[in-house]
Structure 1
């Protein structure tokens, strides 16, 4: 099944709010994914964001869009591998997300 979106939820809890480098890194990667897909492809993404939560949805990503999503996951997995799953967990849902 092809993924049709992703969800980023919660706070890392690595440091105090405003000083949490893990939250900052995940936020930057997530926002950069949306911005990059919109700026570098013809793909459309829907993004819902509120404090500590972001849902990103898409349909039929181009090869460029898929590459950007893959790059996002390389970055997120790198953070999880470096700092541990206590701070960043990468989960695939039943629908491939």
Structure 2
């Protein structure tokens, strides 16, 4: 199972996230759940950097991805980064709705 953890501050802004595990929906190379989660999460990290210039502290290895934001002042860039991260949560939630047996999202404050 893939476990997605979203960590929020006291204002409910996303500070960091981690994804760990394998869906085991299908054999390696054919697992659409793993592929979807990877595309959404890696795409979000890349989009944040390309569209806002903010570089997340990201770590990735087999079956694991984490991303942490640097400290940002609240303003336009902060809002853009939060929108992209919230979009990631929406996309992952859609995957969870369809494939809940293979992915679980946990949110922490």
Question: Same fold judged by TM-score > 0.5?
Answer: yes
Structure 1: stretches of 5+ with no match in the other structure: none
Distance in 2 separating the partners of 1:70 and 1:3: 8
Figure out how many residues of one structure are paired with residues of the other and give that number: 93
Gaps of 5+ in 2: 1-9
Aligned to 1:87: 102
TM-score, structure 1 normalization:
0.89
CA distance in 1, matches of 2:103, 2:33: 8
Aligned to 2:83: 67
Distance 1:26 1:83 in 2: 11
TM-score by length of 2: 0.80
Q: Distance in 1 between matches of 2:88 and 2:66?
A: 14
Pairing 1:44–2:55 present: yes
The structure in which a higher percent of residues are strand is 2
C-alpha RMSD of matched pairs (Å): 1.2
